[in-house]
């Protein structure tokens, strides 16, 4: 008796489909966990900022928080660069006023208006210390 030559391929296809289903279930679970964690962070941030600031113009005086929300996607979470230039030693290259001008008006591929005036002042002072 001869074996059916399609059986090994059918088993491989079945295992592949099973793997896709298992990975999808794991991914959905992780997505829900990430969503819950983000909701928790927003709740904490909302509780802290409601003391003296209006909900319309929420700004932070924490330069790292401003950087994380506005700049890290291009300049990297550790200031090491990526799409944008390395900012680890930007204070040795530009003055605080020049940094502020770049944040407000943009330069090269960086668009203007990435931060409010207050956020730009806080970021410029913080980045000017990076030497």
Question: What pLDDT was estimated at residue 40?
Answer: 75
Residue 58: pLDDT band (50, 70, 90) is low
* Contact partners, residue 56, CB within 8 Å, separation at least 6: none
The proportion of the chain whose per-residue pLDDT surpasses 90, expressed as a percent, equals 19
Binding positions: 71, 74-75, 110
CB 74 within 8 Å of CB 84: yes
Binding positions for heme c: 71, 74-75, 110
Residue 50: pLDDT band (50, 70, 90) is very low
* Contact partners, residue 43, CB within 8 Å, separation at least 6: none
Residue 51: pLDDT band (50, 70, 90) is very low
Averaged over 15-44, what is the pLDDT? 86
Question: What pLDDT was estimated at residue 13?
Answer: 97
Averaged over 68-90, what is the pLDDT? 86
CB 112 within 8 Å of CB 104: yes
Residue 44: pLDDT band (50, 70, 90) is low
């Amino acid at each position: 008796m001869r074996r059916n030559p399609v059986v090994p391929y059918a088993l491989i296809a079945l295992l592949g489909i099973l793997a896709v289903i298992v990975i999808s279930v794991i991914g959905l679970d992780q997505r829900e966990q990430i969503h819950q964690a983000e909701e928790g962070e927003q709740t904490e941030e909302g509780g802290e900022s409601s003391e003296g600031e209006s909900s319309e113009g929420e700004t932070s005086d924490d330069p790292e928080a401003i950087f994380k929300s506005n700049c890290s996607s291009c300049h990297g979470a550790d200031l090491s660069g990526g799409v944008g230039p390395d900012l680890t030693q930007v204070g040795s290259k530009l003055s605080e006023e020049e940094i502020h001008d770049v944040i407000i008006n943009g330069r090269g591929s960086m668009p203007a208006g990435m931060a409010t005036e207050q956020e730009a002042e806080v970021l410029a002072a913080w980045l000017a210390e990076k030497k």
